[in-house]
Chains A and B, each alone.
Chain A
């Protein structure tokens, strides 16, 4: 155990190329997924908060429920869609990072959309009369609220990132954990642990936790600072 830890630390301080490659792929997959999910989730959240259309409540209930989607189930569904016989099989992207991005986007879109809807909905209650008094339509209002809740939205993005970076089931199924191609931190940890190669698993585990802590600290500080600056 001590030996494994020492080896893990030496992998870290020497920037072991294999480890670096895995970390970079992890980050690029999860950050891309977060970016896409935010691009889709923010407008969706704003529309659900401010808009009034049939099926809105149902959609909100489903979004909230889907925040807890099991990653393996998402992986399975995306796998079926992308597999050779599936409807999107012709894309030929199964077992590539693109497939992993799609799976993680599906996984965290409900999180970002549902949490941003909540934040925007709260703001809408506060702003509605004022914005309507100024003559802003619902589309105007939605845009205004997206900007005014920007610091809360940052938190939703981080919640999404945390979920994406930490999940193993979805990327394992659609990525296949292929060495040098689709191997990310979580899948490597799972694999190396079962193989008994503890140092690499442990090193990656340390990095994963450090990233999650750093990201959350940054978010906390940003929000704190923004609160003081903008009220």
Chain B
């Protein structure tokens, strides 16, 4: 991973404003390889926007976002993202994964094996020939994970990947995320679910109204939150998780 590794990712005074509203307000942060990072905060705290800024889908209004090594244009991306609602193509399950590989420039002969591996890693190999859009919500999200992970990216961004799923589908998704984490992919996940943050996170980045309020290891964050906002969030959220 050291060769051409894109991590750590550095954010320096990053601000993002849209429609006259500041959504991300001067965040400086370094995301390093290793422990999984949970971006925690209430709805509207700016978690999704921050993820999109880091992933490059949005450009900051001011400030700098820098990867340690630039991704080469045309080369497979070393980062991937899974969205709250997966957008799957109108084709088969395996074609969805193969599509991502094709866009990444992986040649036809190598795709078959990678597709099979990716589908097996999320337990969807038996549905390979199904049309992707008729899968259940949980299966669709697992396919999105397989597609994002087919090339074993260095960093995987997950934006509330289980927010619209039922508990059993959520458990399956969490198991897949843990496996990716164990396989060495850096997980950066946004959630407002405290239970999930505890289960999957090593460290917490807590946002409140677009500001980085607190960053701490999981245990410390939940047992001794340093900020009043984090303490209130933990108190307020716990009964619901």
Contacts and interface: CB of A to CB of B under 8 A. Distances in A.
Most buried by B among A130, A147, A148: A130
B131 A133 contact: no
A148 B90 contact: yes
A61 interface: no
B89 A135 contact: no
B99 A144 contact: yes
Interface stretch (B19-27, B76-84, B111-119): B76-84
B18 interface: no
Given A129-B57, A230-B133, A230-B134, A144 B89 contact: yes
B133 A231 contact: yes
B80 A148 contact: no
A51 B83 CA distance: 24
Contacts of A144: 89, 99
Interface in A128-165: 129-130, 132-136, 140, 144, 147-148, 150-151
B99 A229 contact: no
B57 A230 contact: no
A231 B143 CA distance: 15
A126 interface: yes
B175 interface: no
B137 to A, nearest CB: 12
B99 to A, nearest CB: 7
Interface in B60-110: 76-77, 80-81, 83, 86-87, 89-91, 99-100, 103-104
Interface in A112-127: 126-127
Contact of A127 (B52, B87, B104, B131): B87
B103 A140 contact: yes
Contacts of B133: 230-231
A59 to B, nearest CB: 27
Contacts of A228: 134
B76 A135 contact: yes
B104 A133 contact: no
B55 interface: yes
Nearest to A229: B131
Nearest to B79: A133
Given A134-B77, A135-B77, A231 B90 contact: yes
Per CB-CB distance, the 5 closest pairs between chain A and chain B, nearest first, are A231-B133, A130-B87, A231-B134, A230-B131, A133-B81
Interface of B: 52, 55, 57, 76-77, 80-81, 83, 86-87, 89-91, 99-100, 103-104, 131-134, 147
5 contacts: A126-B87, A135-B104, A150-B90, A229-B131, A230-B91
